Chains A and B, each alone.
Chain A
Amino acid sequence: MERFKLSIAGREKVGLAAVFVTILFLGAGLFRLQVVQHAELAEQSENNRIRVVPIAAPRGLVLDREGRIIIDNRPSYTLSVVPAELIKGVTVPALAELIGLDTAQVHSRIRRNLVSRYQPAAVKRDIPFSTVAVLEEQSIKYPGVGYQMERVRKYTDSIGAEDFTGYVGEVSTDELDKNDSKEYRPGSMIGKKGLEKYYDYLLRGREGTEYIEVSAGGQIIGPYEGRPRIPAVPGADLTLTIDIDLQRACYQAIDTFCCGAIVAIDPRNGEILAMASYPGYDANIFSSVIPADLWEQISNDSTHPLLNRPLNGQYPPGSTVKMVVAGAALEEKLLNQYTTFTPCVGGYQFGNRFFRCWNPGGHGSLNLEHSLEQSCDVYFYQVGLKLGVDRLGDYYEQCGFGRPTGIDLPGESPGLVPNTDYYDRRYGERKWTRGLVLNTSIGQGEVLTTPLQLAQFYAGLANDGVVYRPHILKKISGPDGTEELPEPTVSFKLPFSLQSLDILREGMRMVVEGEHGTAKSQRRNWYAFGGKTGTAQNPHGDNHSWFGAIAPLENPEIAIVAIIENAGHGSEVAAPVVTGVLDYFMSKKNGLLELSAADMTEEN
């Protein structure tokens, strides 16, 4: 071992070498940080001190066709937390107590809305002002907690508008993955349903950005001069085709029943004038966090308040579609307006089955127009048999059934039109009889339509067969003052000649004005309108009551369809509902509203 012994000079060399190596080692460490990693660490240093604060873009307003507000913005306070400033075991429990959540919920919300540790993550939207006051006065108790003034949506309530307005909500992780991440960040609001979703790209505008210098404690030093502030671009205001008066009238016409829907279209251009579903929900509840019990209650309600009946309610249309059957037969030259068939004796024997007419007393022998007037099922059974399953299915489809109308709202249901393929799939090849066409010919059986599809069809009847794409957007007013009016587009043409259409409209007139018309009690002497009742059997309960109408008859400006679920005969329930709305529409059109209001004041 002694051979390894060092002399004093040797130890001196070892010592000096150790010092030299150490200096070199630390120097290399410094070089690595200050030269090699400088750019990266300088950026981290900037990120440390500069907080990127989004400037919210005011969401566009939504107005009715006369410029009255349907969706407004109202100020609200959003409570948020800067994760880097949280003090473990202090902030979250105190905060949880303040806003009435448990700590786990607070943690999960912070995680969900986390952008960076130094940016505020929203914890609760729309906190009451009293909470804001507590935060202001006792900020020391809540380190890292702040609040921002935000604007939240305010929806005009109790007009059943939620079917087309929809609502906004915090962007979900799925939506973040799907959309361009530049437009949305965690915590952003996004349209979830209705036009809020369909026109989200117009309404949301573009978020601005502000750069603020902060200390490690989160204290704001001031704006950071290094990067200029990017102002927010407000969203565009949208003017709808909806008439809020008519919308309210529609809603009030159906809100006395269990459930129903009503759609009114201007047949001349496809503008949706009103569209309501009852029961609905208050879209404002989605502006803040929905209490769990309220959500439970809404989603479990047997009347399905969340169902958008005009677009997604798929019902058998009943006799309201007899115009399709009649029109098809006219076009196929299977009959003319004078043709009669085997008289109605309250039903029709087909094979070994007796198909009933709605009127057990029978209608006797009727021509086309009278069979429309009285809605005789026996007549249409025979027309249906002549047409056959596929020819009738074809005409249904050409009249816009079985496929979405293309309205500018998301998630529309297609309805259903059965044909041979469908029956083969459903029952197996040759396992079904031609007798099924008897059901289809009176709007029963497998055929399903949405109220919107039916309204579109009636609009086509009213507009000489030209069907405009139903739409609710009338005007886009950009933040820069530009205005854009989307042109109404023709969606398709009904497969009926003008002559046939005249016959069909005459039938509809007689429904209201004829001696035996199913809706003759709805006749008005101050305006003429045509319509068609429908009583749709459904396997789940009482018949659905339908009525479709066009008015004024000579030059229609409105096509309107209503369904009242499980309410019985179309003539008894839906027809008065529709006529009530038509009364309102015609009064407003003729300038009678102010008059009647004045009358009422005088009476009082």
Chain B
Amino acid sequence: MLDYRNLDWKLIGAVMLLTIIGVLMILSAQHYENSDYQRTYYQRQIIWFFISFIFFAVIIHLPIRMMDFSAYVFYGLSVLSLILVLFVGTSHTGATRWFSFGPINLAPSDVAKIAIVLALSRFFAYSKRPPASIRRLAVSAVLVMVPVALIIKQPDLGTSLVFFVVLFSLWFWSGLSPVWMLLILSPLISLVAASHPVIWAIYMLLLVIGLLILKPGTLFGITTAVANIGFGMVTPFLWNRLADYQKLRILAFIDPGQDPRGAGYQIIQSKIAIGSGGILGKGFLNGSQTRLDFLPERHTDFIFSVLGEELGLWGTTLVILLFGFIFYRTIRIAARCRSRFVSNMVIGAGSILFFQFIVNVGMTLGIMPVTGLALPFVSYGGTSLALCWCLIGLIVLADYHWQEY
């Protein structure tokens, strides 16, 4: 039986507090809506809070070994469900596919996030090869590519990125040196740098110098260089392949004023909301940007902007400090876990939350592009909330069993 006194109650408390702040902000965000359905979003979020908490409670009561043993099975089932959803799933606004169980829509991609965390954790925990071995890197990449390939068809750029973030975090955590990480990721940097020929030329020069100094081996050096040139060359091609709305989002991120009514509108209105909140905020239920409908997607993607407008700097600072605490705890737990699988699992779970946190808050501040990733625990959305609580469940579970191998 679980000894409840040994649970990480500070972590649980921080998450609980964020969820409550989320409920309050959702209440405020939709308080002046005309439809009863929208006005009662917060009530549904409370119900989802209970459901999520049940998930959480179940997870922390599971034996930790079960995670380890079932990782690949879970991964396999998850991939199967991603395939299945392409055929029997319901289409929602043409974008994402769901399994519908009555009123509840279940996105298999959310389940797949947990599956990839477990599968990669297991793979890195038991692989005997050195961290930088090509085979090890390639197999782990394939493990990620399979669900991503199925999800990217939906299409959902933000969710796909989450999978890669898990991969990179675990590469790092399982011992891949940061220099290697940098070289492996360098083609992506090349991709971005290629947007301007001069910048790209400078970048390529630096890369060659770096390779000559570091001497990572002939084969790897040449592969890296070729990959960099290749990615730099395909950028224009890829750009043209992007859907118009994706281009617009990236352009709007670069210059929000360009299309103030379109994608840039959201960023501008969000910045106005947060900035006009000032230090003390306009007061709960009193944000004019929120109340008068200027803020888009305010109960989901832009919930942080509502917080900034109504509660001001103290409110936003409280929330990012709570998140900071969660990630601090996550890393501390991961570092002391004796089982490599469990340690990996904690980092994998934490990286998902961390990435969504950065991207979402960065978006509301206008320093990250609009990706449609929710703010963990705070944004409205049942499956999102349940997923985040499940991830916290894994972390708390890991902490409880930290001494076990």
Contact = CB atoms under 8 A, between A and B. Distances in A.
A37 B215 CA distance: 47
Interface in B127-163: 131-132
A216 B292 contact: yes
Interface of B is mostly: helix
A6 B331 CA distance: 15
Interface stretch (A38-46, A469-477, A526-534, A551-559): A38-46
Contacts of A9: 335
Interface string A212-244: 011111000100000000000000000000000
B274 A16 contact: no
Contact of A19 (B132, B178, B275, B324): B324
B279 A35 contact: yes
Contacts of A48: 269, 272, 288-289, 292, 294
Contact of A49 (B179, B288, B324): B288
B362 A44 contact: no
B248 to A, nearest CB: 14
B190 to A, nearest CB: 20
B235 to A, nearest CB: 26
A27 B317 contact: yes
B271 A41 contact: yes
Contacts of B22: none
A33 B270 CA distance: 10
A4 B180 CA distance: 9
Given A1-B214, A33-B274, A34-B278, A12 B320 contact: no
A160 B261 CA distance: 51
Given A23-B321, A23-B324, A45-B288, A4 B179 contact: yes
B319 to A, nearest CB: 10
Interface string B206-223: 000000001111000000
A38 B278 contact: yes
A221 B288 CA distance: 11
B289 A33 contact: no
Nearest to A6: B177
A350 interface: no
A33 B275 CA distance: 4
Interface in A40-88: 40-42, 44-46, 48-49, 84
B61 interface: no
A422 interface: no
Interface in A386-419: none
A521 to B, nearest CB: 77
B99 to A, nearest CB: 34
A20 B323 CA distance: 11
B276 A11 contact: no
A27 B313 CA distance: 9
B203 interface: no
A526 B273 CA distance: 85
A47 to B, nearest CB: 9
A1 B216 contact: yes
Contacts of B327: 19
A29 interface: yes
A29 B332 contact: no
B36 to A, nearest CB: 19
B328 interface: yes
A541 to B, nearest CB: 61
Contacts of B277: 34
Contacts of B131: 5
Nearest to B215: A1
Interface string B309-336: 0001100110011011001100110110
Given A23-B324, A33-B365, A215 B292 contact: yes
B292 A214 contact: yes
A148 interface: no
Nearest to B326: A19
Given A1-B216, A11-B172, A40 B294 contact: no
Interface string B254-282: 00000001000000010111111111000
A214 B320 CA distance: 32
B276 A23 contact: no
A15 interface: yes
Identify which of A38, A84, A217, A221 gathers the most chain B CB atoms within 10 Å of its CB.
Answer: A38
Interface in A312-335: none
Contacts of B347: 15
B200 interface: no
B376 interface: no
B272 A41 contact: yes
Interface string B157-192: 000000000000000110101111000000000000
Contacts of B332: 12, 16
B361 interface: yes
A8 interface: yes
B313 A19 contact: no
Nearest to B32: A215
B177 A213 contact: no
Nearest to B268: A44
Interface in B43-63: none
A29 B365 contact: yes
A26 interface: yes
B308 interface: yes
A214 B366 CA distance: 25
A30 interface: yes
B231 interface: no
Contacts of A4: 177-180
A27 B361 CA distance: 10
B255 to A, nearest CB: 17
A314 B49 CA distance: 90
Nearest to B296: A216
Nearest to B172: A11
A1 B132 contact: yes
A450 B347 CA distance: 96
B112 to A, nearest CB: 24
A12 B327 CA distance: 11
28 contacts: A1-B179, A1-B217, A4-B177, A4-B178, A5-B175, A6-B175, A9-B335, A12-B332, A15-B334, A15-B335, A19-B331, A23-B320, A26-B361, A29-B362, A30-B313, A30-B320, A34-B274, A37-B275, A41-B276, A45-B272, A45-B273, A45-B275, A49-B288, A49-B292, A215-B292, A215-B294, A216-B293, A216-B294
Given A1-B177, A9-B335, A42-B275, 18 more contacts: A1-B180, A1-B216, A5-B131, A6-B175, A6-B178, A14-B172, A15-B335, A19-B324, A22-B354, A23-B321, A23-B324, A26-B362, A34-B278, A34-B313, A44-B276, A45-B275, A48-B272, A48-B294
Interface of A: 1-2, 4-6, 8-9, 11-12, 14-16, 19-20, 22-23, 26-27, 29-31, 33-35, 37-38, 40-42, 44-46, 48-49, 84, 213-217, 221
Interface of B: 131-132, 172-173, 175, 177-180, 214-217, 261, 269, 271-279, 288-289, 292-294, 308, 312-313, 316-317, 320-321, 323-324, 327-328, 331-332, 334-335, 347, 354, 358, 361-362, 365-367
